[in-house]
């Protein structure tokens, strides 16, 4: 077979897990919607549009009227040019009882040609993943929202006929089907502060029917805060720190040599960390927004502060290390995401760029179109 494109995606994303267990259905870890992506995925404590279904269903408790969001991205064309990623979501307010939402995620890595060892062309197939879901968020208190969601997951990696004509491949592939649940809380204790927590992708392992393999889902815990130093009629500034942890392979120590403190330090290093900023100017019916997010995933070698020393390979270090340690080397790149948005009346267009968090050359733009009825 010439190329199994889907596994190129895993090469990028599976660095987040320890080697004991790698998650399946990794497309569920890709940030949907341009606005959250421009903020490095830090949206759990905001969750104030239709993408709350993905980031924190507790935010649905505070949404009013009906929201619709559509997103398109030619995802990581520098890795594989045939990949694209789609997201659609809609929410509808139930009078005084929160909001109900629907969403769907779709990723395709394009066509893969099947060529045997003798160079004979045997055919081609298209790899894709899709996950439709439903969610509901409701007010527990006037300033506390809770929500939950359920999703169906279908992952088509390699069709059965490929195994039949090329059994020597020994690929994992096949078709995987499973389900998962999401939970979230959004608390607004003061006008200048939001606190958010969500737990995503809690469900049965995904099994691939052609090979019998089974992998855990990318179960994810997100903790976030949103601080608003400026919040007036025409201006709003949000500062959003967030930590995300993939709960797969935690505390993996096959040799039993690490102390509990060392294990905790390893888990903290493994977590995704983001510090994001959003500034909005509004003069009805027009609003303009600018966004910036610093992101680090040190285990997956994405983002962070990339330093270079003579005679050694580039290294990803944390922002804390870059600020407090000396002699790390010359900074060659910083893991930034950025973007902006324009809103007119009830229509909104957002764009994000997050290519700087990857070490390989690529262009990575996401475009979202939203409307509030």
Q: What is the mean pLDDT of residues 81-97?
A: 92
Assess if residue 258 is contained within a domain: yes
Question: Across the chain, what does the average pLDDT equal?
Answer: 87
Q: What is the mean pLDDT of residues 3-19?
A: 44
Assess if residue 1 is contained within a domain: no
pLDDT at res. 149: 98
Say whether pLDDT at 373 is over 80: yes
Q: Where does the pLDDT of residue 239 fall: very low under 50, low under 70, confident under 90, or very high at 90 and above?
A: very high
Q: Where does the pLDDT of residue 10 fall: very low under 50, low under 70, confident under 90, or very high at 90 and above?
A: very low
**pTM reported for the whole predicted model:** 0.89
Say whether pLDDT at 329 is over 90: no
The answer, yes or no, to whether the previous bond of 130 is cis (omega within 30 of 0) is no
Q: What is the mean pLDDT of residues 34-46?
A: 97
Assess if residue 321 is contained within a domain: yes
Q: How far is CA 370 from CA 90, 171, 339, in A?
A: 9, 40, 16
The encoded tokens of residue 132 equal 């439709």
Q: What is the mean pLDDT of residues 298-304?
A: 90
Tens digits of residue pLDDT in 268-297: 888 999 999 999 999 989 999 999 999 999
Q: What is d(CA 86, CA 270) in angstroms, rounded to the nearest whole number? A: 28
Q: Collapsing DSSP states into helix, strand and coil, what is residue 155? A: strand
pLDDT at res. 18: 42
DSSP state at residue 13: H
Say whether pLDDT at 192 is over 60: yes
pLDDT at res. 327: 80
Q: Where does the pLDDT of residue 212 fall: very low under 50, low under 70, confident under 90, or very high at 90 and above?
A: low
Q: Where does the pLDDT of residue 13 fall: very low under 50, low under 70, confident under 90, or very high at 90 and above?
A: very low
Assess if residue 117 is contained within a domain: yes
- Provide the domain limits for residue 43: 6-372
The encoded tokens of residue 10 equal 């895993």
pLDDT at res. 92: 97
| Buried residues in 324-352 as b, exposed as e (16+ CB within 10 A) | eeeeebeeebbbbbbbbbebeeeebebbb
pLDDT at res. 168: 65
Q: Where does the pLDDT of residue 233 fall: very low under 50, low under 70, confident under 90, or very high at 90 and above?
A: very high
Most confident among 121-125, 260-264, 320-324 (mean pLDDT): 320-324
Assess if residue 212 is contained within a domain: yes
Q: How many domains does the chain have?
A: 1
Q: What is the CATH number of the domain that holds 233?
A: 2.40.160.40
Q: Where does the pLDDT of residue 113 fall: very low under 50, low under 70, confident under 90, or very high at 90 and above?
A: confident
Say whether pLDDT at 194 is over 60: yes
> Could you give phi then psi for residue 327, rounded to 5 degrees?
75, 20
Cβ-based burial of 212 (10 A; exposed 0-12, middle 13-18, buried ≥19): exposed
Q: Of all helices (H) and strands (E), which one includes residue 270?
A: helix 260-270
Assess if residue 368 is contained within a domain: yes
Least confident window among 112-121, 132-141, 341-350: 112-121
Q: Where does the pLDDT of residue 2 fall: very low under 50, low under 70, confident under 90, or very high at 90 and above?
A: very low
Most confident among 8-17, 21-30, 178-187, 298-307 (mean pLDDT): 178-187
Most confident among 193-207, 261-275, 310-324 (mean pLDDT): 193-207
Q: Where does the pLDDT of residue 189 fall: very low under 50, low under 70, confident under 90, or very high at 90 and above?
A: very high
Assess if residue 235 is contained within a domain: yes
Q: What is the mean pLDDT of residues 209-222?
A: 80
Tens digits of residue pLDDT in 154-179: 998 877 777 777 766 665 557 889 99
Q: What is d(CA 116, CA 2) in angstroms, rounded to the nearest whole number? A: 8
């Amino acid at each position: 077979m010439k190329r199994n494109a889907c596994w190129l995606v895993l090469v990028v994303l599976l660095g987040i897990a320890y080697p004991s267990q790698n998650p399946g259905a990794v497309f569920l870890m890709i940030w949907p919607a341009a606005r959250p992506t421009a903020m490095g995925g830090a949206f759990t404590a905001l969750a104030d549009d239709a993408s709350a279904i993905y980031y924190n269903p507790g935010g649905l408790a505070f949404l009013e009227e009906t929201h619709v969001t559509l997103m398109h991205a030619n995802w990581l064309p520098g890795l594989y040019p045939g990949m694209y990623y789609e997201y659609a979501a809609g929410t509808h307010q139930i009078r005084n009882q929160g909001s109900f939402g629907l969403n769907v995620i779709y990723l395709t890595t394009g066509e893969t040609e099947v060529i045997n060892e003798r160079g004979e062309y045997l055919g081609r197939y298209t790899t894709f993943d899709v996950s439709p879901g439903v969610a509901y968020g409701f007010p527990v208190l006037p300033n506390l929202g809770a929500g939950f969601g359920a999703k169906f997951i279908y992952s088509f990696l390699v069709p059965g006929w490929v195994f039949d004509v090329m059994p020597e491949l020994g690929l994992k592939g096949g078709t995987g089907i499973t389900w998962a649940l999401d939970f979230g809380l959004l608390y607004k204790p003061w006008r200048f502060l939001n606190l958010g927590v969500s737990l995503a992708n809690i469900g049965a392992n995904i099994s691939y029917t052609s090979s019998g393999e089974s992998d855990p889902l990318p179960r994810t815990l997100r903790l976030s805060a949103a601080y608003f130093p400026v919040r007036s009629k025409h201006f709003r500034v949000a500062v959003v720190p967030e930590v995300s942890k993939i709960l797969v392979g935690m505390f993996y120590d096959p040799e039993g040599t690490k102390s509990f403190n060392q294990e905790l330090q390893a888990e903290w290093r493994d977590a995704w960390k983001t510090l994001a900023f959003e500034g909005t100017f509004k003069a009805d019916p027009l609003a303009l927004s600018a966004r910036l997010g610093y992101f680090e995933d040190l285990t997956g070698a994405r983002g962070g502060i990339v330093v270079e020393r003579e005679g050694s390979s580039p290294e990803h270090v944390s922002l804390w290390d870059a600020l407090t340690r000396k002699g790390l080397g010359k900074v060659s790149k910083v893991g930034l995401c950025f973007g902006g948005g324009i809103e007119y009346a009830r229509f909104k267009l957002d764009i994000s760029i997050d290519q700087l968090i990857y070490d390989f050359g690529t262009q990575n733009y996401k475009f979202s179109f939203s409307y509030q009825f």
